[in-house]
Structure 1
Amino acid sequence: MVLFSSRAAKTGFAALGSNGAKTKAHYCASKAGVISLVKSLAMELAPYGIRVNGVAPGPVQGTMIPKESWPVIAEKVPLNRLGTPEEMAEGAWFLCSPQAAFITGHILDINGGTLMD
């Protein structure tokens, strides 16, 4: 099982930059809840051989970010671009694959380097 969260769950702000107007506490809190759900379900379901992981995307090309904002946001990403939906899907695909058979309770950060921990 793979659930989607967000980089915002780990930073406490939705936009790249901690401007209070872009915090969106409700969004950050809900995405942090997804991370907690991943970890809880991973513990509960492990005895049954069910793996539960998450993907936490950074800025992605799509409808959540207006296209005219992509170049400005890309400047704040260490890899100098936004991610693609296909890259997020590839991360989820990996977590479901046999190559990830010993991974559970993990959050895969796919964010172009915007959150390095």
Structure 2
Amino acid sequence: MKYALVTGGSRGIGRAIALQLAKELQYNILLNFNKNHKAAEETKLLIEANGVNCHILQFDVGKAEATTAAFENWKKANPEAIIEVIVNNAGITRDGLFMWMKPEDWNTVIDTSLNGFYNVTQPLLKDMLRKRYGRIINIVSLSGLKGNAGQVNYSAAKGGLIAATKALAQEIGKRKVTVNAVAPGFINSEMTEDFDQNEFKKLIPLKRFGEAEEVANLVSFLASKKASYITGEVININGGLYS
């Protein structure tokens, strides 16, 4: 059985991505979450309404041992399962001016977005290379491309992930495994619910925030066979804000 793994998949953009991969590409879903068990169970029901299986895995992508153990246990229980798609979506913000930033606010953000990419992708990559097929899609951010005041930690994490995307794509392209990044701008989600939309909309040529489903549509395309000649790319989805 073929699976797509979505980290941070219980809510927001991650939930929309998992649903779209199930609906459009008929992938069984391996849904990772860290804390919100109720939201994960709700998402599982929505996914399975598309006629596919959904397995929930609870672990913090920033913790290497817990991540590896979760995958090993799942593989033992599902020896026939193949993970063809990895969507590294898990991420957190701990915003604040750099001069006042506490070490834990720096480390937690780096651990989740950047080290999480390593912890999740590296142990699963060997199977993709053996199968000579795979899709790795990293959810980055406008902050990782242009930087954002008050988000030095988040910008550093996402900027590092962008560079890792480009480098890994060069390493493994010959095995027909593609690696791309999707960089959302302002998307309606819990992460942006406290933003002053009227002020930010003035900066956006399309004059609105994006929807999680719009990001999910792009990810689904990159996860499909239609995108077989696209790798090492960072695709912006931001209403023209940074183009």
How far residue 79 of structure 1 moved from its aligned partner, in angstroms, is 0.2
Distance 2:214 2:197 in 1: 16
More helix by proportion, 1 or 2?
A: 2
Superimposed CA distance per residue, residues 27-70 of structure 1 (whole angstroms, 9 cap, x where no aligned partner): 11111011011111111111211001010000000011125622
Distance 1:110 1:68 in 2: 18
More strand by proportion, 1 or 2?
A: 2
> What's the TM-score once normalised by structure 1's chain length?
0.85
Distance 1:9 1:87 in 2: 20
Give the structure with higher Rg (CA).
2
Q: Any conservation in 2 of the 1:53–1:105 contact (CA below 8 Å)?
A: yes
Unaligned runs of 5+ in 2: 1-135
* SS of structure 1 residue aligned to 2:169: helix
Q: How does 1:23-102 map to 2 (within 5 A)?
A: 23-66=150-193, 69-102=196-229
How many positions carry a matched residue from both structures? 108
> What's the TM-score once normalised by structure 2's chain length?
0.43
How far residue 71 of structure 1 moved from its aligned partner, in angstroms, is 2.8
Cα RMSD over matched residues?
1.3
* Structure 1 position 7 matched with structure 2 position 142: yes
Opposite residue 103 of structure 1, the aligned amino acid is I
How far residue 115 of structure 1 moved from its aligned partner, in angstroms, is 0.6
How far residue 95 of structure 1 moved from its aligned partner, in angstroms, is 1.0
Unaligned runs of 5+ in 1: 14-21
How far residue 98 of structure 1 moved from its aligned partner, in angstroms, is 2.0
